[in-house]
Structure 1
Amino acid sequence: MSRGDAAIGLGLAALIGGAWAGLTFAALFVVDWTAWWPVAPLVVAVQCWLFVGLFIVAHDAIHGTLAPGRPSLNRVVGQVCVALYAGFDFDALAREHRAHHRHSGTARDPDFDPDHPDAFWPWYLRFFRHYFGWRQFAVLAVASVALAWLLGPRAPLMLPFWALPAILSSAQLFYFGTYLPHRHEAAPFADAHRARSAGFSWPVSLLTCFHFGHHHAHHAMPWVPWWRLPGARHQTGDMQ
């Protein structure tokens, strides 16, 4: 990757993070929702998508593709993104994700459910419980109390404009980035990556999961950043 690729990746990360922060701040602290309630569902949908974007930026940081050759910068940006996403620890997520790549689609894969390899809800609940343990809930509880104190009488807005899009984004990430690519189907996987790529058009691919649906391409070439995955899929034969 070139220095220009790093500049593009970091610029996109700043755009995603800035949009998430600006929209969330406005929704929680500024907007009078008694007048603007008709646009609330759209705001929640955009917030959900931007939450997904935060996680995808952190995912690139895990692979070192956000700022190639600068591990400290990758780690700092990645930690900020996962902290904003749900108070996660970047190093812990990085360990789990490396295990996912080493043991993709097997019982040793932390993101896979060998007992329900084709069932969405049991797999999603297992996935959720794995990453949202007591420590995670404690961190989010402290953050919730602090945010509620800052918001004062606007604290009830935390549910629709902070908690709801975060939860929805976890389902969106799981469905398009884990379940669809790795679920068992009648047709076998093409290779040991045990992953498939979705045949989405460029706009749909971006809107669903920041091109992470091109999942076989990602597993085959994990050094490719998210925004280059639509082009990379042609190199791996993912031409759906």
Structure 2
Amino acid sequence: MSGDRSPAHAWISTRLVLETLLIYLGLCAASAAAFQLDGWPRLLAAPPLLLALGLWLDRLFNVGHEAVHGKLFPDQPRLNDLLGALMFAPLLAPFAVVRKIHGFHHGHNRRAPGVATLDVVLLPPGPPWRRRLARVSGFTLWLLAVFAGGFFIHSLVSVVLFLLLPTAVARRVSPAFHGWRPRHRLRAWLELLAGAALHLLVWRLGGRELWLATLGLPLLAFAWLWSLMLYIYHYDTTLGGEVRHNVRSLRPRSRLLSWVMLNFSEHATHHADPTLPWYLLPTLRVTPAHPENQRVDTLAAAILQQLRGPSFVERPPPESAP
């Protein structure tokens, strides 16, 4: 790890975890209290708290992302992974699966059209109507994925399918699962069941209203926000073998937002050196290798540019057998 392994790093990570969990519990308590109100007070208080909880679930995801890279407690890998799984539990995201998929993302990001590219649609061969249909359906699915929470739903369904598929089949379905072992599957099942148990426990102890106020509706808000921002750092950036350079950084106008996101917008620096902890990203900022990737520099502009839809590329013909 290129970052600091000193006791200061351990203290920063400890403070980060405690701060994140305590604020999460505080927001949950406030949301639960808002749901006890009636009439206009509830209508006025509940939505902002649900949105704040959805945004704070993104903070939990970003803390888990630190753990995915082994940066939370690098000298204590079991503690690191346990805390990462804890952060992902409300999101129903198995830590083992996220680590595997995210590792593939860093190793193959936009290597070629159709390889770790969410915004590229490969047009099928055949008559023109098939390509027109692919363009219409590709554009529609892209808008739903980005602006209607579709990326989160797709990720959740994909996780369940991969857990249900035999390991050999999962490897054939996605190259991200090369090296996927039965022990990884077992661990992922345990992590998914732990997240489901958390949701069930809140429902059983506090009823439907408490679950909706603290987990159910905030998860919907998170799904929308996360899908909006999932690909803003890679949308319409360069393609090619230097995968760490196919990325952009953004400049949030709010220091508060940078704090919530753990400087995730310093994405070019993160891809240049994924071992850097979150608090070093602004001070060790890299100069983008491809200035053309910096067409936008704010979160709002990066989100809105996705309205242009995906890129459509002719599917290359299969290589003929020798």
TM bin, normalised by shorter chain, reads 0.7 to 0.9
Q: Deviations over 1:114-137 (max 9, x none)?
A: 3269x453466356313334469x
Q: Deviations over 1:71-115 (max 9, x none)?
A: 1111111011111x3232211211111111001124343x73432
Identity %: 23
Structure 1 94/205 Cα, relative in aligned 2: closer, same or farther at 3 Å? same
Match of 1:81 among 77, 87, 91: 87
Larger deviation, residues 87-96 vs 123-132: 123-132
* SS of equivalent residue, structure 1 residue 100: helix
Match of 2:108 among 99, 103, 111: 103
Conserved in 2, the CA contact under 8 Å of 1:61 and 1:77?
yes
Q: For residue 53 of structure 1, report the CA deviation from its aligned partner.
A: 0.9
Partners of 1:92 and 1:76 in 2: CA distance: 14
Partners of 1:125 and 1:146 in 2: CA distance: 27
Which consecutive residues of structure 1, in runs of 5 or more, have no partner in the other structure? Answer: none
Paired position in structure 2 for 1:149? 204
Paired position in structure 1 for 2:50? 44
Paired position in structure 2 for 1:211? 263
Partners of 2:85 and 2:196 in 1: CA distance: 19
What code does the residue aligned with 2:235 have? R
* SS of equivalent residue, structure 2 residue 247: coil
Q: TM-score, normalised by structure 1?
A: 0.79
Within 5 Å, give how 1:169-180 maps onto structure 2.
Answer: 169-176=222-229, 178-180=230-232
Which consecutive residues of structure 2, in runs of 5 or more, have no partner in the other structure? Answer: 122-137, 164-188, 298-322
Q: For residue 157 of structure 1, report the CA deviation from its aligned partner.
A: 4.5
Match of 1:130 among 155, 171, 185: 155
Structure index of larger Rg: 2
Partners of 1:31 and 1:200 in 2: CA distance: 32
Q: For residue 161 of structure 1, report the CA deviation from its aligned partner.
A: 3.8
Partners of 1:223 and 1:63 in 2: CA distance: 7
Structure 1 198/204 Cα, relative in aligned 2: closer, same or farther at 3 Å? farther
Quick check: which one's helix share is greater?
1
Q: For residue 175 of structure 1, report the CA deviation from its aligned partner.
A: 2.8
Match of 2:76 among 70, 76, 101: 70
Paired position in structure 2 for 1:59? 65
Partners of 2:34 and 2:46 in 1: CA distance: 13
Partners of 1:19 and 1:132 in 2: CA distance: 29
| Paired positions, count | 231
Conserved in 1, the CA contact under 8 Å of 2:108 and 2:243?
no
Conserved in 1, the CA contact under 8 Å of 2:31 and 2:50?
no
> What is the aligned-residue RMSD (CA, Å)?
3.3
Q: TM-score, normalised by structure 2?
A: 0.61
Conserved in 1, the CA contact under 8 Å of 2:203 and 2:210?
no
* SS of equivalent residue, structure 1 residue 222: coil
Q: Which has the higher contact order (CA 8 A, sep 6+)?
A: 2
Match of 1:166 among 188, 205, 219: 219
Partners of 2:19 and 2:156 in 1: CA distance: 27
Larger deviation, residues 217-226 vs 198-207: 198-207
